[in-house]
């Protein structure tokens, strides 16, 4: 354990079906945690006995134990508490039901459960996704390969904010770094709110759904394991329409509603009878995040893309490129009055129009998606992205951009798509 002066060590005994909760708020604070005896987990990831885990600013942790355990926690200011009121039994029951459906799918060569997690903001949707995915690969052994689809463009759990992503989960998540990512499927959206371009959001969701179903058909383990989908917290009005579009596009057959009875009743009313809808409670440890906290979390996600995490550090590269050597686009043209639109065209087509832009100081600190499309004539919007770069300097006199990139060589011959997401490299 850390021997930093001023830290207080507490030995905590967790009784069965209870959890230890704590949050790290101070910038100079680090909380150290060790499992002394018994079995415990953090959001479905089992802790290693005798290993010291460290948590820094922004961490919100719940250590749960089914059989009981002994923990050692070391911190300057102890704000931890134990709760016996947890929804983990509900979540475990959900996992057991999903596992039965996976076994049936495996025996009959049919699709496994396609599960949608919905609810307003800050009710624990991402956490429930992580728990269900962890349980699937922990308890299902080598036969389980569920697909995790993240449609929450505000946070970005598969990639960075401003994107939607999907990946096959083969191993439990790391306590620090989440699920191991091998070639995730990522689509550019470019904003952190759905209301900025609802047409584009629905378009890339449809494209994502088609490819997810293709992947299920090509791999029996993936097919029987099914899909778990994380969604945005906008559940009223147009947000509800997006949810129904997701259900149709992905052919969802199970919807888990967190902590909102109104949404649950609307879905029961509107969904086909073969779609099963269940209402689940949220955890008492869920914390409502402020706007500043959300902005900081987004910046941290982009920073992790370029620089990695504490346990897995990366070293990005910076290089100059000429204005003439890059092709930058944005998705969405200015709105056109209805009277100016040719007969037969939809009024919202401008939202998914590809527009060429010239490099200028306006794109400083903006993140650019590197598309797999090599020409603007290709379907850039419906093409997934290879990665991201950030503009760290714009020299208009020399006509040169300075780019922060994960790879050392200059940009490939690809289309770059401008995002509203910004990152200041310090």
pLDDT value for 344: 59
Whole-number average pLDDT of the chain: 91
156/377: higher pLDDT: 156
List, for residues 126-139, the tens digit of each pLDDT value: 999 999 999 999 98
pLDDT value for 335: 61
pLDDT value for 337: 61
Say what percent of the chain tops pLDDT 70: 94
Instruction: Note the pTM of the prediction, 2 decimals.
Output: 0.93
Domain 316-337+346-422 sits in CATH at 2.40.30.330
List, for residues 33-72, the tens digit of each pLDDT value: 999 999 999 999 999 999 999 998 888 999 999 999 999 9
List, for residues 335-344, the tens digit of each pLDDT value: 656 666 566 5
pLDDT value for 1: 44
Domain 88-280 sits in CATH at 3.40.50.300
Show me where the domains of the chain are located: 8-85, 88-280, 316-337+346-422
Q: Provide mean pLDDT across the span 178-204.
A: 93
Which single residue is written with the structure tokens 């704590």? 22
pLDDT classification of 5: cutoffs 50, 70, 90: very low
Q: Provide mean pLDDT across the span 190-207.
A: 95
Q: Looking at the predicted structure, is the pLDDT value of residue 348 above 80?
A: no
pLDDT value for 44: 96
Structure token digits, residue 77? 């200011």
CA distance 177 to 42: 13
pLDDT value for 2: 46
Give me the long-range contacts of 406-411 (CB less than 8 A, separation at least 24): 406/305, 406/306, 406/314, 406/316, 406/317, 407/317, 408/317, 408/319, 410/319, 410/321, 410/325, 411/321, 411/325, 411/326, 411/370
Question: Helix, strand, coil shares of the chain as percentages rounded to 5?
Answer: 30, 30, 40
CA distance 251 to 245: 10
Q: Looking at the predicted structure, is the pLDDT value of residue 413 above 90?
A: no
Element (H, E) at 60: strand 60-65
List, for residues 279-332, the tens digit of each pLDDT value: 999 998 887 888 888 888 899 999 999 998 877 889 999 999 999 999 999 998
Task: Give me the architecture of the 8-85 domain, per CATH.
Answer: Sandwich (2.60)
The answer to whether 48 touches 72, Cβ cutoff 8 Å, is: no
Q: Nearest-CA neighbor of 421 among 342, 315, 306, 344?
A: 306
pLDDT value for 332: 86
CA distance 61 to 18: 13
């Amino acid at each position: 354990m850390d021997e930093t002066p001023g830290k207080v060590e507490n030995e905590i005994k967790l009784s069965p079906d209870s959890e230890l909760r704590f949050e790290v708020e101070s910038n100079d604070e680090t909380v150290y945690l060790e499992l002394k005896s018994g079995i415990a987990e953090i959001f479905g990831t089992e802790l290693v006995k005798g290993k010291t885990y460290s948590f820094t600013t922004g961490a919100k942790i719940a250590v749960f134990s089914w059989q009981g355990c002994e923990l050692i926690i070391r911190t300057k200011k102890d704000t931890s508490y134990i709760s016996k009121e947890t929804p983990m039994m509900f979540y475990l029951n959900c996992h057991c039901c999903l596992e039965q459906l996976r076994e049936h799918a495996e025996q009959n060569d049919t699709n496994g459960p396609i599960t949608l997690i919905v609810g307003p903001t800050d009710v624990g949707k991402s956490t429930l996704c992580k728990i269900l995915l962890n349980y699937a690969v922990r308890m299902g052994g080598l036969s389980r390969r569920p697909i995790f689809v993240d449609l929450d463009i505000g946070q970005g759990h598969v990639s960075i904010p401003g994107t939607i992503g999907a990946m096959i989960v083969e191993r439990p998540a790391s306590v620090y770094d989440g699920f191991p990512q091998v070639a995730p499927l990522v689509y550019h959206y470019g904003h952190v709110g759905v209301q900025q371009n609802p047409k584009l959001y629905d378009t890339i969701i449809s494209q994502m759904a088609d490819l997810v179903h293709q992947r299920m058909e090509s791999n029996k383990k993936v097919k029987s394991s099914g899909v778990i989908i994380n969604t945005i917290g906008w559940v009223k009005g147009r947000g509800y329409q997006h949810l129904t579009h997701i259900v149709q596009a992905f052919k969802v057959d199970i919807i888990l509603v967190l902590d909102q009875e109104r949404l649950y009743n609307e879905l029961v009313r509107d969904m086909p009878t073969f779609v099963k809808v269940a209402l689940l409670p949220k955890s008492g440890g869920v914390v409502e995040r402020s706007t500043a906290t959300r902005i900081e979390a987004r910046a941290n996600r982009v920073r992790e893309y370029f620089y990695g995490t504490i346990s897995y550090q990366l070293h990005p590269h910076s290089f100059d490129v000429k204005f003439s050597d890059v092709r930058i686009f944005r998705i969405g043209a200015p709105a056109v009055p209805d009277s100016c639109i040719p007969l037969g065209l939809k009024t919202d087509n401008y939202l998914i129009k590809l527009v060429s832009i010239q490099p200028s100081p306006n794109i400083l600190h903006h993140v650019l998606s590197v598309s797999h499309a090599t020409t603007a004539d290709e379907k850039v919007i419906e093409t997934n992205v290879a990665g991201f770069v950030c503009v760290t300097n714009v020299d208009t006199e020399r006509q040169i951009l300075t780019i922060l990139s994960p790879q050392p060589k200059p940009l490939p011959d690809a289309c770059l798509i401008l995002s509203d997401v910004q990152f200041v490299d310090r």
